[in-house]
Structure 1
Amino acid sequence: MYRVTIVYNQPADPAAFDEYYSTKHLPLVRDIPHVQKFGFGRCESLDGNPPAAYALAELYFATKEDAARGFASSQGQSAAGDVANFASGGVSLLFSNEDTVLP
């Protein structure tokens, strides 16, 4: 598997982020070709301090080439272009192989 992790920094308006993400952005993500698995969650901390990031999204593809094709597609470009509409805190993208999986 090949994983693309999107780290969403703290937005200016978390409620607006959540609303936009669920109603407008998520339908765009669903249309990206070659995605085999998708996950999203808001970050927490174990010690009560504010988390370093607001949320994480992970898209899984069979291969790096499938990820590149997915993001190069019109649907992938549409989803990527939409990020500026709600992620006021900025984002980081991380690309990684998923070599080791423990039960």
Structure 2
Amino acid sequence: MAKMIVMYDQPKDVEGFEQYYHEVHIPLVEKVPNIKGAKVQRVLQAMNTTEKLYLIAELEFENPAVLSQSLATPEFQEVQRDLANIMKYLNKPPVVVIVD
């Protein structure tokens, strides 16, 4: 199994972020091939950090090779391009990690 984890800080425009994220960004992500599972969780509390984490999204794939293949697809490239649109609601880009 492999996961892509995306961590968003507190948005500068919470209402705009929520609307855009759920109505535009998530539908783009849902088109990415080979996703086995997905979760979006609101952060209630973060410890041992000064980051003001707001939201964490997890995308699960069969294995690292499948994840890599999915990242190379036109569908994922569209998700990447959409980051420019979502940035108007954020103070800084989300942190993205890939784990196995």
Q: TM-score, normalised by structure 1?
A: 0.84
1:18 is aligned to 18
Identity of aligned residues (%): 25
Runs of 5+ consecutive residues of structure 2 not aligned to the other structure? none
Corresponding pairs, count: 95
Runs of 5+ consecutive residues of structure 1 not aligned to the other structure? 98-103
CA gap of 1:34–1:46, structure 2 versus 1, over 3 A, is: closer
Query: Matched residue of 2:25: which SS?
Result: helix
**CA deviation vs aligned residue, 1:49-96 (integer Å, no higher than 9, x gap):** x97311010000001111111111000010121122114232111111
**What is the alpha-carbon root mean square deviation over aligned residues?**
1.9
2:30 alignment partner AA: R
2:33 alignment partner AA: P
2:95 is aligned to 92
CA distance in 1, matches of 2:46, 2:81: 33
Q: Which runs of 4+ in 1 moved over 3 A?
A: none
2:21 alignment partner AA: Y
